[in-house]
Structures are given as C-alpha cells and as structure tokens.
Amino acid sequence: MSPNTIGALLMMASMASFTINDTLIKLTDGAVPLMQLLVIRGVLSSLLILCMARWLGRIHFRIGAQDWALIAVRSVAEVGAAYFFITALLNMPLANVTAILQVLPLTVAVGAALFFREPLGWRRMSAILLGFMGMLLIVRPGAEGFSLWSVYALIAVLCVTARDLATRRLSADVPSMTVTWIAALTVTAFAGVASTTTEWVPIDMRLGLLIGGASVFIIGGYFFSVQVMRVGEISFIAPFRYTGLVWALVLGWLVFGDWPSSLTLVGAAIVVATGLFTLYRERKLSAR
C-alpha cells in the first residue's frame, strides 16, 4: 500500500479507537471521579504500552534536546485535552462533543500558518471563517443549547491542536511508541497528583470492565494519532478524521439514544465541508 493509503487507514483506526474509548468512558456516567478514572485508565494503558513497546523493540530514549522539548509540549497538551474533553464528554451527548472536535483541521491550518509560517491564502482563510461559523451553530452561544461544557470542548480542541502541531515537528527517528508512552504516563502522573484532593470510590465489575476496555482502546488512539502525523501527505490523510463523527453519531444513537438537533447537524456539515476544502487547497498548493 502507498504511504497515503496507510495514513488514511491509520487515521480511521485512530478515530474509531478514540470514539469507542469515549463511549466506554461515557458509560461510567460519572460514577467514578474523573481523576480516579484517569489514574486507573492511565496505569493500565501505560503498562500495556510499555510491554508492547518492549516486545516490539520500538522504544528508546536517545532523543535530542529539541525533540524532548516538543515531547514535553505535546504531553502537557495531552493532559489538557484529556481533562477538558472527558469533562465535556461526561456532560454532553457524544455526537455533539465530537462534532466540535471536527474543527481540528481548521485550527491546525491556522496554527501552522501562525507558528510555522505555512502559507494560508484567502480561499482557505475564507473556508476557515465559514468553518468557525459552522462551529458556532454547534455550540450556539447565547442559546439554550450552550453550556460551560461546550467551552470545555473548545479548550480541548486548542489542546489537541497544540499536540498535533508539536507531533508534526518531531524528528523521524523518534519512536512513536516512546511518544505514546510518555503521553500516557504524563496524563497518569497529573491525574495521580490531582486525585489526592478527591475521595476514591470502590470499583465494581461493570465499571472495571468499562475502564479496562477504555484503557485498551486509548492505546490505539494514542499510538495511531502519533503515527498518522508521520506517514503520507497530511492534506490527503486529514479528511479521514471526519470518520470520527460517523462513529460518534452511530454509537451515540445505538448506545445512548442520542441524536443531534438539526442545527448541530447543519453546523457539523459546514465544518466538515470547509475542512475538506481547506485540505483540498493545501494539497493543490503542495502539488504546485
């Protein structure tokens, strides 16, 4: 398979893994304090990642100072994304919070222009502005559908944008498993410190299975999200991020009986369409 095909498959696998993880976490329904949940999931996933990495022989820490700095930025962004996204997820319908995340290709394009000085023409800038208008239809500020949790989801978008931009700057010889393990360990350490201020609750069989399943799928999400940024052309691969919205719509309906309002669906369609146009223009300029 070509690098672009591999990248597209990795992106779809990443979106499926993250969305199934989100579904399992949402099924806990707040029965476990957030920090306790992150600690348990983080310990399990960190151990599994380390065992898998050692078995494959794809982990080492002979990394340059610049890459260590990027990994540090990425890990801090991962902590913010985990906290704000899961908080929003536990308080919003799955499809709604996932729809807000679909502005990521637009925010990454803006971030690349601001920090990496990548070109951003008027056509793509117009598409980005339209995309943000679509995002406003999803969160509806000032309307009954808007809440603090929508703000949390938007902050999670900024954190994931910073994470993806840092990943794009990593050297090719930095193992994806190393980056994945450090990210999982950082989130676990942060949650461990924060959990000392809350009272832990007992975990029954059902909650244990849900958190254990989430730990497995978050490994796929972490690993594929690192690997996908390093294979093929990002302008070709990035549109496959929108498969996450399809997963969220289907699982939200099947598992929770939720279906977004018409305005949310229209906003999501605008965001997806403008994101695809932005990526199309990026690919066309690269071809030139």
Q: Is 98 exposed, middle or buried (0-12, 13-18, 19+ CB in 10 A)?
A: buried
Higher pLDDT, 139 or 92: 92
- The whole-number pLDDT of residue 271 equals 78
Rounded to a whole number of angstroms, the CA Rg of the chain reads: 18
Of the chain, the percentage scoring pLDDT greater than 70 comes to 88
- The whole-number pLDDT of residue 70 equals 94
Query: Could you list the residue range(s) of the whole structural domain that residue 166 is in?
Result: 3-287
The structure's pTM equals 0.80
Region for 147 from its dihedrals, namely left if φ exceeds 0, alpha if ψ lies in -120 to 50, beta otherwise: beta
The Cα-based distances of 258 to 76, 93, 184, 208, 251 in angstroms read: 32, 7, 30, 25, 9
Under the banding of pLDDT at 50, 70 and 90, the label for residue 144 is: low
Going by C-alpha positions, the residue among 267, 235, 287 that lies closest to residue 102 is 267
Averaged confidence pLDDT in the chain:
84
Mean pLDDT over residues 221-248, rounded? 76
Distance in angstroms (rounded) separating the CA atoms of residues 261 and 249: 12
Distance in angstroms (rounded) separating the CA atoms of residues 63 and 71: 10
Under the banding of pLDDT at 50, 70 and 90, the label for residue 102 is: confident
The Cα-based distances of 198 to 33, 79, 203, 283 in angstroms read: 8, 18, 15, 48
Under the banding of pLDDT at 50, 70 and 90, the label for residue 142 is: low
- The whole-number pLDDT of residue 145 equals 54
Distance in angstroms (rounded) separating the CA atoms of residues 281 and 236: 11
Per-residue pLDDT tens for 41-83? Answer: 889 888 888 887 777 677 888 899 999 999 999 999 999 999 9
- The whole-number pLDDT of residue 234 equals 66
Do 96 and 154 meet the contact criterion of CB atoms below 8 Å apart? no
Distance in angstroms (rounded) separating the CA atoms of residues 95 and 235: 25
- The whole-number pLDDT of residue 49 equals 83
The Cα-based distances of 172 to 75, 162, 227 in angstroms read: 18, 19, 10
The Cα-based distances of 270 to 118, 220, 222, 230, 253 in angstroms read: 24, 29, 28, 28, 21
**How many distinct structural domains can be found in the chain?**
1
Distance in angstroms (rounded) separating the CA atoms of residues 53 and 57: 6
Per-residue pLDDT tens for 180-197? Answer: 889 889 999 999 999 998
